[in-house]
Amino acid sequence: MTYSPRSDLAVEVPRFTAASLNEESHHLLLWQAKGHTRFVVDGRPLTLTAGQALWIPARTDHRFTTAPNSALMPMFFDARAVTSVVDVPTLVPIDANAETLCLALIGSKYSLVQPSADLQEMVLAVVEAQVVAPAGITMPRSLTALRVARNVVLNPADQRSLADWAARSCTSAPAAWSGRSSPRRA
């Protein structure tokens, strides 16, 4: 038996309004999966459209109203456990790869089966990729390396070693960078 959805059923998702919000202990990423939402963030109006997300750091005043037939998907990041280099509200474009990460992260919150990768860190890397590097600095293409590089650009006094970053991002540091000798090439 195969399922065939009925096309004659009208689906109407009502609009939703949330007034006077301020997450004290969580950063928030709101992904506009469908439709659009009108926000006021720290007193400034903003419209979020499908394919965008809005990063709202902890303790940021915000309110919003979704349009009818819109889907706004929240992702919460514990502010005590997540240190982000993005400390201001930031618009984030969500491409197909980022969409997959967001869906996987949201789905993992409702499943007993948990992925081995740190999806929250991967989504956070997408957000942090919006931080602009100073002119003349070539940034890495790998999301993991880009996250480290952007943090160093924004916080040059960060004392974490490459091994610390590798452990945090579930990767390994190349031997040549971690102080161990590397094999010689012929």
Q: Tell me, what CATH number does 46's domain have?
A: 2.60.120.10
Q: Beta-strand (E) ranges in 22-136?
A: 26-34, 36-41, 44-49, 52-56, 62-66, 71-78, 90-93
For residue 110, tell me if it sits in a domain.
no
Percent of residues in the chain assigned helix, strand, coil, to nearest 5: 25, 25, 50
| Pairwise CA distance, residues 128 & 126, whole Å | 6
- Cα-Cα-Cα-Cα dihedral sign, residues 132, 138, 139, 145: negative
For residue 30, tell me if it sits in a domain.
yes
Alpha-carbon distances of 102 from 37, 78, 94, 105, 179, rounded to whole Å: 18, 16, 9, 5, 36
Q: How many CB atoms lie within 10 A of CB 152?
A: 15
pLDDT for position 6:
67
35 three-state secondary structure:
coil
Q: Which domain holds residue 50?
A: 16-94
- Taking 80 as the threshold, does the pLDDT of residue 84 lie above it? no
- Domain total of the chain: 1
| Mean per-residue pLDDT, 17-42 | 94
For residue 138, tell me if it sits in a domain.
no
Greatest Cα pair distance in the chain: 69
Q: How many CB atoms lie within 10 A of CB 99?
A: 16
For residue 89, tell me if it sits in a domain.
yes
Name which of 34, 186, 182, 23 is nearest 103 in CA terms: 34
For residue 44, tell me if it sits in a domain.
yes
Q: What is the pTM of this model?
A: 0.69
pLDDT for position 28:
94
Place of tokens 């889907």: 71
For residue 90, tell me if it sits in a domain.
yes
Least confident segment among 6-15, 42-51, 95-104, 115-124: 6-15
- Taking 50 as the threshold, does the pLDDT of residue 36 lie above it? yes
For residue 35, tell me if it sits in a domain.
yes
Give the pLDDT confidence of 146-170 residue by residue, as tens digits: 767 766 766 666 677 777 766 666 6
